[in-house]
Amino acid sequence: MRQEDLKALKKPFGTLVPDAQVTKEKISAIVRGAKKTIAVGDATTERLLGFGITPNLAVVDGKERRLVREYPRHDAKEIHCTNPAGAISQAAVDLLKEALLEKKPVLVVVEGEEDLLALPVFAMAPEGAVVLYGQPLEGMVAVKITTSKRKQAKDLMDRIGVEK
């Protein structure tokens, strides 16, 4: 992966909500009226559930900052996929595409690593959706999906590639 792409991936893709401001009220206001609420990451999913917000789609891998943990289960259709660390697999992209079409909540449990799967979620989520993910040691990032955000994600995916 190019250095420039690594830098782009480390920067928040949306609005960073500092940890001290990640409250039920703040996050509820961010997702209010969203076409879909999507969580990427175990800690983010757990926080949303703790706030009484059930994401339409949650993508978890049973790890938090590389440490194994119990992934947050909730009342959702649970499906599993494999995605290697530091990569985006075509199988995971295909599964996410289907999960985004579901009417009921879906929990995607990734064997491997879910971090980069935020990109295909940004690229494929419907306009008006809100995607939330953790920015380690900083807070939670909220991405409101627009045409330009989708294009930005697709361009970055094209540069880093999708494993077949």
Residue numbers belonging to the annotated binding site for GTP: 42, 61, 63, 114
Rounded to a whole number of angstroms, the distance between the first and last alpha carbons of the chain is 16
Helix axes 147-160, 3-10, angle to 10 degrees: 140
Which residue ranges are tagged as binding site? 42, 61, 63, 114
CB of 58 closer than 8 Å to CB of 158: no
Residue type, 57: L
The residues, ordered by sequence, that sit 6+ positions from 108 with a Cβ below 8 Å of its Cβ are 57, 58, 59, 60, 79, 80, 81, 95, 96, 99, 114, 117
Strands 139-144 and 15-18: antiparallel
Rounded to 5 degrees, φ, ψ at 127 are -60, 140
Look at residues 16, 5, 3, 9 and name the one whose alpha carbon lies nearest to residue 141. Answer: 16
